[in-house]
Amino acid sequence: MGLGFGISGIALYYFLRRVDGQQLLSALGSANLWILSICALTRGTVLALNAARTRILLLPLRRYRFSESFLAWLSGYVTDNLVPFRLGELVRVDLLARAGRISRSSTIAVVGLDRLIDFISLLMLVIVAAPLLTLDLGHANRLLLVIGIAVACVATALWLATHPLTMSRIVTAIVRPLSPTAQAWLVEKAQRFSEGLGALRSPSMLLTVLGLTLFARLVGMFTIQCWLWAFDLSLPVYAPLVVLLFISVGTMIPSSPGFIGTFHVACAYALELMGATPELAASVAIAGHFMATVPWTVGGIFVSFPGIQRVWQQQRESIRPPEHVPST
């Protein structure tokens, strides 16, 4: 946590020391608030698309209601913006498991698939943006290594989804030195994890998930274009793609909750790379971060906390032992 806050502090210092305060306030004051308000709707759209994607990945386990999946995503999003260590992922895993009465091992696999698909879509953005940023993919050894890792992860996930019995045998052989109780527990968790990857066995589900992911990326690029319109900033047509790519990479760096600092530096640097002045780039980064996090975080608190309490209460009631009526 100290490392994250330290990185955020350094990023904010680097971000603010390069701009004139008066010019920054003047640029922020010139923003079109009506256009910026659209960003709150687009953020909600992205959350809804992610919830729909997770709901499809969960279909082999249980047919979830959209509200259950959306509550898990919203609660995780709020947690990530308020608490360090990306604990929102654990909140999402726990809520999905409790709402569906299924194993957390299965929901961990589903959430892991979510993140793997996001990673693959990010690599696709890098490949598309490479000619725009004059990147030579033939000599980008690190990028090729990352792509190779992504392909290996996809191949492993497909193998685990299509060979659940073989996976159980491998786990059984690995944990043989342990006690019988530990062996049974680990094998059972491995089986549940394999069940969570069941959507990979359906080409139609996989194509639908990929389509929703790409659509969510397009909505994200439209959000960035709204930022540019709000500040009357004229940049190349591919500017939203480049900014989205930089923000996606920047927010992978450990930082404080809400990606404060790393988000701003990544966004401003991308805009300056395409010709924006430091003050205008900083203004777009500040306004964009505010609209991307504050409205849905503040509103989500009043929705997610009661929702979490309701899910926990429903689970307690479902496992409560029946009362025995004394015989007369």
Q: Are 59 and 110 in contact, with CB atoms under 8 Å apart?
A: no
Report, as ranges of residue numbers, the positions in the chain whose pLDDT lies below 50: 322-328
Q: How far is CA 147 from CA 152, 153, 187, 294, in A?
A: 9, 10, 31, 34
Q: Residue 172's closest CA among 154, 191, 155?
A: 191
Cα–Cα distance for residue pair 310/100, rounded to 1 Å? 13
pLDDT digits over 225-252, tens only? Answer: 999 999 999 998 999 999 999 999 888 8
Give the containing element (helix H, strand E) for 272.
Answer: helix 262-273
Provide the pLDDT for residue 318.
64
- pLDDT number for residue 195: 87
Which string of DSSP letters, residue by residue, matches 109-150?
HHHHHHHHHHHHHHHHHHHHHTTTTT--TTT-HHHHHHHHHH
Rounded to whole angstroms, how far apart are CA atoms 71 and 48? 10
In degrees rounded to 5, what are phi and psi of residue 92? -65, -45
Q: CA 182 to CA 272: how far, in whole Å?
A: 56
Contact 268, 13 (CB under 8 A): no
Write down the pLDDT at residue 4. Answer: 84
